[in-house]
Amino acid sequence: MASEITVTVALQVNKTYLQHSQIPGSISIDMSGTRCAGGAQELSTSHEVVNLNELTTANQGWAYFRNTSSTAGQSIALGIVVSSTFYPVVEMKPGEVAMFRLNTTVSTAQAIYAKSSSGTPVLQYWIAEN
């Protein structure tokens, strides 16, 4: 099969005199695998690996993440760990989402880690096999 994944994107900014719109529409993406990983993971202020279940860093593909918290100040950071140091690359404030394809290049693919800025917010996620 082809085009099993559809991603639709729209960004609209309206702030005083700043107005901007990006509406690239939808793209269709092939999914060669048949498995996925997902769930809801309660986080703490220490980084922890996002559970890939049956997936590996070599076959992870498109990913969706959502900070389910509605409490101000409970941001979630996503990133990688190198030599025990957490390097955040994505921040989601309460209620925000992020979608992107995870790296599958065997020599550079990394596990995704998550951590809370405070409290114990829940990270909702779903990762398709590449």
Residue 17 belongs to a domain? no
Average pLDDT, the chain: 94
Residue 18 belongs to a domain? no
Residue 12 belongs to a domain? no
Count of structural domains within the chain: 1
Residue 15 belongs to a domain? no
Question: Residue 105 — pLDDT band, cuts 50, 70, 90?
Answer: confident
CA–CA separation, 34 and 63 (whole Å): 14
Residue 16 belongs to a domain? no
Beta-carbon contacts of 15 under 8 Å, excluding residues fewer than 6 positions away, are none
In this structure, the number of other CB atoms found within 10 A of the CB of residue 18 comes to: 7
Residue 56 belongs to a domain? yes
Enclosing domain of residue 83: 31-129
pLDDT digits (tens, 9 = 90+) for 51-81: 998 899 989 999 999 999 999 999 999 999 9
Contact yes or no for 114/48 (Cβ under 8 A): yes
Residue 2 belongs to a domain? no
Residue 94 belongs to a domain? yes
CA–CA separation, 57 and 75 (whole Å): 25
pLDDT digits (tens, 9 = 90+) for 1-10: 588 999 999 9
CATH number where 37 lies = 2.60.120.770
